Structure 1
Amino acid sequence: MNFLVDAQLPPGLASWLVGLGHSAQHVLELRFADADDSTIWNHALSVDAIIVTKDEDFAERTARTASGPVIVWLRIGNSTNRALLQWLEPRWPTISQLLNDGNRLIEVR
């Protein structure tokens, strides 16, 4: 799978995904740190990437359209990078299965 990690998440998340065998980039790598949501959305579409975000706007946009990138919406408050990965790791098998099943919006709590 190919992932695009949004700005409010740490670049280490992209590295973690690569360590799991996926392709992943953080928006900082693409010089999209200050890009608007549409720029990130369109880039994800152009490279067939799954957006990993904490931004509710992507979830709302996905709910309004029949096409667009797949969104993994992480519903975790502010946390350290380590705490984020500790929170995400046990949830990842379920997220991965939902992605493989074709879900377009995955809300992770």
Structure 2
Amino acid sequence: MHLLIDAQLPPALCGWFAERGLIAAHVSTELGGQTPDAIIAAHVERHGMILVTKDDDFLLRHPPVKSRLLWFRCGNISNRGLRIWLDVRWPMIAERLDQGDRVIEVR
């Protein structure tokens, strides 16, 4: 599985996913800074990636067709807090990724 981490999430999240056996790139290195949502959505669709985001625009304005969406609903949180938040939720996330769910909302 290839993941693309959206701009409002830290690049260090790529390493967190790599520790769990997933390939992840940050949008800033994959597509550059200030990339419009439509370009990001088209990129993940074209490559069949999983977009990891906190932005509901990707569900409302650019819903996934060939790609998948991992939508974090955690609000503003420190990098350390985000890792702790994800650690607790990882079993559910991994199960839903394995099941092939198109949209995974994580609260």
Unpaired segments ≥5 residues, structure 2: none
How far apart, in 1, do the equivalents of 2:15 and 2:28 lie?
13
Return the letter of the residue paired with 2:56.
E
Q: Normalized per residue, which structure has more helix? A: 1
Q: 1:1-109 to 2 correspondence within 5 Å? A: 1-60=1-60, 61-62=62-63, 67-109=65-107
Return the letter of the residue paired with 1:52.
V
Q: What's the Cα RMSD here?
A: 1.3
Q: Percent identity?
A: 42
Q: After TM superposition, give the deviation of residue 34 of structure 1 in Å.
A: 0.6
Q: TM-score, normalised by structure 2?
A: 0.91
Q: Is the Cα contact below 8 Å between 1:32 and 1:40 reproduced in 2?
A: no
Three-state SS of the structure 1 residue aligned to 2:46 is helix
Q: Is the Cα contact below 8 Å between 2:48 and 2:66 reproduced in 1?
A: no
Q: Is the Cα contact below 8 Å between 1:41 and 1:68 reproduced in 2?
A: no
Q: TM-score, normalised by structure 1?
A: 0.90
How far apart, in 1, do the equivalents of 2:2 and 2:88 lie?
20
How far apart, in 1, do the equivalents of 2:11 and 2:5 lie?
7
Three-state SS of the structure 2 residue aligned to 1:11 is coil
